[in-house]
Structure 1
Amino acid sequence: MPTTALSSPSDSVQRVIDALTALGHAERPVMLDDAARTAQQAADALGVALGQIAKSIVFRHVESDRAVLVVCAGDRRVDEKAVAAQVGKLARADADFVRAATGFAIGGVSPVGHTQEPLALVDDSLWRFDRIWAAAGHPHAVFPLRPDDLPRWLGVAPSQVTAPPAPRPLGHEAS
């Protein structure tokens, strides 16, 4: 796992560091040598399973215009109908909305340290792992945590908000 120490973090990474400190989380974010804008890039850079990446997906809550933060495993797709059933009507969030509502750019949205408190949901599929990794406010910054940290930090119970993984096609066997 090629990483670099955080000598002078950006404002958004510092916000995550401050939030983690306030939450009593001892492990600081690290900077990956390569960008981790996607869950697959992060998993590859860290040498972990794709599902161990706790990706933060942001939607716009139509009624309140607040951010809806869905934290789920990197190997799962958010089920928008399941999310809407829990929080109400959703709309897509473009890059400008994500930055304005969270303080983070897409590809670096952390589950903590938002500039405005989001409506939050945590998918129960993360509990397949003891240790997971989340973005820390920058496409190169990540931090380790336990799934049990998220409900405590975000004030929500885990729920099923992702679709089951699609079955993999069977390979052709040589005869």
Structure 2
Amino acid sequence: MTDEQTAAPSHAAVDRVAAALAAVGVDARIVWFDDAVTTAKLAADALGVEVGQIANSLVFTLDDEPILVLTSGAHRVDTDWLGSELGGTIGRASKEVVKAATGQVIGGVAPVGHPAPVRTFVDVDLAGYDEVWAAAGHAKTVFPTTFDELVRITGGTPTAVEPS
């Protein structure tokens, strides 16, 4: 095999995520899959971990501001409840809003590597796992991290995403 055939794949959004992680002192091990892992279940199955260990990156709008909610793959975000908790109305972001806010496409949105900071909320239930996995800018990529590290690298606010 040539060096080209054995080299790790490259993608501009993934490169930006790797650079953003390096800038905050994280030596991320980005894992590439042969196929897209666009759901928490697919990612968990591919990694051999619990679905709750997958940090789903969901972009919503809070009133008109894009926000990022990093939620455990074991949960659904209760947008009515969370919007009330945050003092506004949460709506689904269009694919255009997701791309503009993050520089990434739905299915591969990472917690970092965005063109500008995105207000971020991190599901407190992710703290129950020693290791969590987040997308790395492309639907075929993930990287391992922790709840505390997600909060630190995103400047995120730990929050519940559904009523207890």
Question: TM-score, with normalisation over the residues of structure 1?
Answer: 0.84
The 1:102–1:30 alpha-carbon spacing in structure 2 relative to 1, beyond 3 Å, is same
Q: In structure 2, how many angstroms separate the alpha carbons of the residues matched to 1:126 and 1:155?
A: 16
The 1:80–1:10 alpha-carbon spacing in structure 2 relative to 1, beyond 3 Å, is same
Which runs of 5 or more residues in structure 1 are unaligned? Answer: 165-175
Opposite residue 106 of structure 1, the aligned amino acid is I
The 1:6–1:40 alpha-carbon spacing in structure 2 relative to 1, beyond 3 Å, is farther
SS of equivalent to 1:158: strand
The 1:28–1:87 alpha-carbon spacing in structure 2 relative to 1, beyond 3 Å, is farther
For residue 98 of structure 1, report the CA deviation from its aligned partner.
Answer: 0.7
Q: In structure 2, how many angstroms separate the alpha carbons of the residues matched to 1:163 and 1:95?
A: 27
Residues 39-60 of structure 1: CA deviation (Å, up to 9, x unaligned): 1110011011000100011102
The 1:126–1:140 alpha-carbon spacing in structure 2 relative to 1, beyond 3 Å, is same
Q: In structure 2, how many angstroms separate the alpha carbons of the residues matched to 1:29 and 1:13?
A: 9
Q: Partner of 1:92 in structure 2?
A: 92
Which runs of 5 or more residues in structure 2 are unaligned? Answer: 1-5
Q: In structure 2, how many angstroms separate the alpha carbons of the residues matched to 1:123 and 1:162?
A: 9
Q: How many residues align?
A: 158
Q: Partner of 2:37 in structure 1?
A: 36
Q: Partner of 1:66 in structure 2?
A: 65
| Native 8 Å contact 1:6 1:31 kept in 2 | no
For residue 8 of structure 1, report the CA deviation from its aligned partner.
Answer: 4.1
For residue 94 of structure 1, report the CA deviation from its aligned partner.
Answer: 1.4
For residue 155 of structure 1, report the CA deviation from its aligned partner.
Answer: 1.8
For residue 87 of structure 1, report the CA deviation from its aligned partner.
Answer: 5.4
Opposite residue 160 of structure 2, the aligned amino acid is Q
For residue 74 of structure 1, report the CA deviation from its aligned partner.
Answer: 0.3
For residue 108 of structure 1, report the CA deviation from its aligned partner.
Answer: 0.1
| Native 8 Å contact 1:108 1:135 kept in 2 | yes
For residue 157 of structure 1, report the CA deviation from its aligned partner.
Answer: 3.5
Q: Partner of 1:154 in structure 2?
A: 154
C-alpha RMSD of matched pairs (Å): 1.7
Query: Percent identity over the alignment?
Result: 44
Q: Partner of 2:117 in structure 1?
A: 117
| Native 8 Å contact 1:77 1:163 kept in 2 | no
For residue 92 of structure 1, report the CA deviation from its aligned partner.
Answer: 1.4
For residue 82 of structure 1, report the CA deviation from its aligned partner.
Answer: 3.4
SS of equivalent to 2:97: helix
Question: TM-score, with normalisation over the residues of structure 2?
Answer: 0.89
